[in-house]
């Protein structure tokens, strides 16, 4: 299965207030002391190729292109978090009989790096499913090396919010 997840990325910090639409790609400091603009407005589509390994285990993968790199030339941490959230969220959705699920908590540990052209493979394993929650662990690998690990909780949505 292929999942396309669209996100709009930009952040603007202003003195005593902030606007967050999602993540940071590049940073530029304004000459004004009270304003810091971070990022370019970019529509980012995360295309996950996802496979079910078992009823409780899932695999997904993405390829790193130039737009996913930070100024150090490695994959941006915010993008890594987005990939984990999307892949693990898809696993929670599929493991809970295609019930819509939303992220309650996500704890990510950055362990290694990935670079331009690398393929990142993610693995999600469901730890427990209750009537309303899905608990899981996830990790990302690139070139057989661990990039990140995460644990999270997803809420099964039984009613429409809006």
Residue ranges for the chain with pLDDT beneath 50: 2-44
Residue of 72, 82, 77 whose CA lies nearest to 8 = 82
| Contact yes or no for 102/51 (Cβ under 8 A) | no
- First vs last Cα of the chain: how many Å apart? 28
| Contact yes or no for 93/144 (Cβ under 8 A) | no
Q: Using CA atoms of 8, 14, 17, 18 in order, give the dihedral in degrees to the nearest 10.
A: 20
**Lookup result for tokens 């999942």:** 3
pLDDT value at residue 46: 60
pLDDT value at residue 137: 97
Strands 35-52 and 17-20: unpaired
What single DSSP character describes residue 90? H
pLDDT value at residue 129: 97
What is the torsional sign of CA 4, 45, 77, 103? negative
């Amino acid at each position: 299965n292929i999942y396309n997840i669209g996100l709009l990325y930009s952040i603007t910090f202003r003195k005593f207030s902030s606007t967050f639409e999602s993540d940071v790609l590049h940073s530029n400091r304004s000459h004004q002391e009270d304003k810091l603009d971070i990022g370019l407005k970019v529509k980012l589509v995360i295309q996950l190729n996802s496979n079910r390994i078992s009823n409780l285990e899932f695999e997904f993968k993405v390829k790193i292109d130039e737009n996913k790199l930070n100024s150090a030339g490695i994959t941006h941490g915010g993008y890594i978090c987005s990939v984990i959230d999307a892949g693990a969220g898809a696993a929670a959705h599929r493991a809970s009989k295609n019930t819509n699920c939303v992220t309650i908590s996500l704890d990510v540990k950055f362990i290694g790096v990935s670079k331009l052209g690398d393929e990142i493979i993610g693995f999600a394993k469901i730890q427990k499913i209750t009537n309303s929650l899905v608990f899981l662990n996830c990790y990302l690998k690139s070139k057989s090396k661990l990039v990140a690990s995460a644990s999270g909780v997803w809420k099964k949505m039984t009613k429409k919010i809006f």
